[in-house]
Structure 1
Amino acid sequence: MIVAVCEEVLPSHLEKISRETGEEVLLYSSVKEIPNPIKESLEVLLAYGLSFDGRPIATFEPFPKLRWVQWFSAGIDDLDICELAARGITLTNASGIHIKPMSEYVLMCMLYFEKDMARYQSLKNKKQFDRSKLVGELTGLKMLLYGTGVIGQAIAKTLSQFNITICGVNTSGKTVPYFQETYTLEEAEKEIGNVDYVISLLPSTTNTRNFFSKAYLQKMKPGSIFISIGRGDVVDEQAVVELIQSKVLRGAAMDVFRQEPLPADSPLWECENLILTPHMSAKSIYYMDRCVDIFVKNVKARKGDGEMINVINTSREY
């Protein structure tokens, strides 16, 4: 038996899981609704956006026999990783399902700024037909992408056809497909002032939180663009606003935030030359279908048909 706690799971998804794995799936809207007898015997939990008694970090204390959590998100910062590691509970996530929408999102943001779409919208509102200012192109630009995993590689592959110099940043500086150069975090600090676009795909870990501080962001090239689509707590949001207002940055795109939903009093709402989206860069109409495909594959692997994918190393937090 499998329990799913995920509002976006549809009856068609449950039918597919049962049909392809032979497992019964019980769906609940919250952990509180799961009957105690089921909690006490449950071994497999399929979940996304869990909330345990309003706690910001999910704990799995109510499930003494839990052996595996399939998390329908790439980010796992809402989970008590230490508890999972201590109890030997396998954690798998939905890494890889975001590559198409996130690649398209980055491309959209870059075209928005290079084609000066904010100006055209302003002219439209004023009913002005003004062709006096030329726009840029993606050709010849240089970007620095922090995070060279499957999403980073997909973004780099998508952008490679536009004759952009694409550099990546990872912990080791090892060579990665689709990146012309790769740097360690230390090396990237010296390179950040030489690129036109800086893109954060960094996960939220003890080593990355507050990584893009004001002091760090100030090292960016004057007139460059910052795009944040990894995790919100790695970025100093106030610093982004100040650097745009002072013209150090030409603009930014923010899809993830330190607090979500973003508070109404956040200065990001009123900041010009800033694309603001509500943590949607990874989402599309195909999101849950792709999650279910991963889960079905892992259920089969757990029964001996192949190997489980997207298994999280809980000691590294990703």
Structure 2
Amino acid sequence: MIVAATQEILARHQAKILEDTGEQVYIYPSLEQIPQPIADKTEILITYGITLTKAEPQPLNLARFPKLCWIQILSAGLEGLPVSEIQKRGILVTNAAGVHGAPMSEFVVYCMLHFSKDMERYQQLKKEKRYDRTKLVGELEGLEVLIYGTGTIGQAVARMLTLFKVKVFGVNTTGRAVEPFIETYTLAQAARKLATADYVISLLPSTPKTRGFFSREYLARMKNEAVFISIGRGDVVDEQSLVEMLQQGRLKGAALDVFEREPLPPESPLWDCEHLILTPHMSAKSIYYIDRCVDIFIQNLLAFRSGGSMLNVVDFARGY
């Protein structure tokens, strides 16, 4: 039995899965609302990973599914998953890597144009009802962009930025060459390039090696005219240090879509920062998000039933 524990899987998705695979998906609003007789029969679960840890004591809600052999999570990150229990039971996990490229690339371009075209100034001029053409704006062409993370999303962002004739450099764990980056660096080597980059983009996942990576000392290596964009995982960034740099004019600006704590608490100083684009973990989301997730699930379901190769099988040793 296949069960989806989210109302984001709509009736039309249910119909598409049935048409393409011949299998029925039963939809419930949440894990907690799945009746136990249904949970007892569930072999395949479609859900957001974070829902698997809501019950106390953890991972009580996962224990409700004795026949579970595969979880398709509707996100790329693995934060919150009861990994030890999943591994102990030998449950296969696949994620939604690959669905984020288009919306996140567009988000990055928007943020870069926002700062290069000085849109905050124009918004202020509008409030003042003042028509002022005295200050010229910049262009993206020829700027240096350093992207931390050269996986599927990083490559998609880089490809889009090359259309603007931007010089795109990448950072990954080994420094291996990846298209379409001009050059790639290890995390240690990237510190040198950080000092010349006009835009620094973090797509880093949350792993023991990356948490707190963008520390006060590391961020201080960026030039004053640079913009920092974080759309990977929030706990890789020292938010307080970033706030202080923005307040002191040590950066041209920043854009944060992910945070150390989510939802971002009302008392966070980020809310009051100038020259900061702040969005609620939405850079990857669009009206087509679940459609793309369902396409991946259908391909995986056909492979799962036939013994073929599946997409996006999670390697817990690597953390993604």
State the TM-score bracket (shorter-chain normalisation).
over 0.9
Residue 43 of structure 1 aligns with an amino acid whose one-letter code is: E
Q: Is the 8 A contact 1:139 1:164 kept in 2?
A: yes
Deviation at 1:13, TM superposition (A): 0.8
Do structure 1's residue 190 and structure 2's residue 192 form an aligned pair?
yes
Q: Distance in 1 between matches of 2:194 and 2:137?
A: 24
Matched letter for residue 220 of structure 1: M
Give 1:86 deviation, angstroms.
2.5
State the match for 2:155 in structure 1.
153
1:140 matched to 2:139 = no
Q: Which residue of 2 aligns with 1:251?
A: 253
Corresponding position of 1:278: 280
Quote how far apart the aligned CAs of 1:270 are. 0.5
Query: What CA distance in whole angstroms lies between the structure 1 residues aligned with 2:196 and 2:216?
Result: 17
* Counterpart residue identity of residue 17, structure 1: I
Supply the RMSD in Å over aligned alpha carbons: 1.6
Q: Distance in 2 between matches of 1:179 and 1:55?
A: 45
User: Quick one: distance in 2 between partners of 1:6 and 1:233?
Assistant: 26
1:9: how far off?
A: 1.1
SS of 1:198's equivalent in the other structure is strand
Distance 1:271 1:263 in 2: 14
Aligned mates of 2:281, 2:55 — CA distance in 1: 21
**Amino acid across the alignment from 2:314:** I
The range that moved more, 209-218 or 270-279, is 209-218
Partner of 1:41: 41
Provide the residue aligned with 2:32 in structure 1: 32
Q: 1:56 to 1:295 in 2, by over 3 A?
A: farther
In the superposition, relative to structure 1, how do residues 53 and 137 fare at CA in structure 2: closer, same or farther (>3 Å)?
closer
Letter in 2 for 1:211: F
> How far has the Cα of 1:65 moved from its partner?
2.0
Matches within 5 A, 1:26-105: 26-48=26-48, 49-50=50-51, 52-54=53-55, 60-105=62-107
The Cα of 1:55 is off from its aligned counterpart by 5.6
- CA positional deviation for 1:40: 2.6
**TM-score normalized with structure 1 length:** 0.96
Question: Offset at 1:42?
Answer: 1.9
Q: Which runs of 4+ in 1 moved over 3 A?
A: 51-59
Structure 1: runs of 5 or more not aligned: none
**CA drift at 1:164:** 1.3
TM-score of the superposed pair, with normalisation by structure 2: 0.95
Contact 1:85 1:315 survives alignment (8 Å): no
> Displacement, 1:190?
2.2
Q: Could you give the per-residue CA deviations for residues 152-199 of structure 1, whole angstroms, max 9, x where no partner exists? A: 000000001222111100001000001001000011122211111110
- Paired residue total: 318
Separation of aligned partners in 2, 1:122 and 1:262 = 25
- Is the aligned partner of 1:317 residue 2:319? yes
Task: Give the conservation status (yes or no) of the 8 Å contact 1:56–1:78.
Answer: no
2:52/2:62 contact within 8 Å kept: no
1:194 is paired with a residue whose SS is coil
Amino acid at match of 1:45: L
Q: 5+ residue gaps in structure 2? A: none
Asked whether the equivalents of residues 84 and 314 of structure 1 are also in contact (C-alpha less than 8 Å), the reply is no
Amino acid in structure 2 at the alignment position of 1:266: S
**1:152-191 equivalence runs, <5 A:** 152-191=154-193
Counterpart for residue 203 of structure 1: 205
Question: AA paired with 1:32?
Answer: E
Residue 140 of structure 1 aligns to which amino acid in structure 2?
A: G
- For residues 227 and 147 of structure 2, the distance between their equivalents in structure 1, rounded to whole angstroms, comes to 12
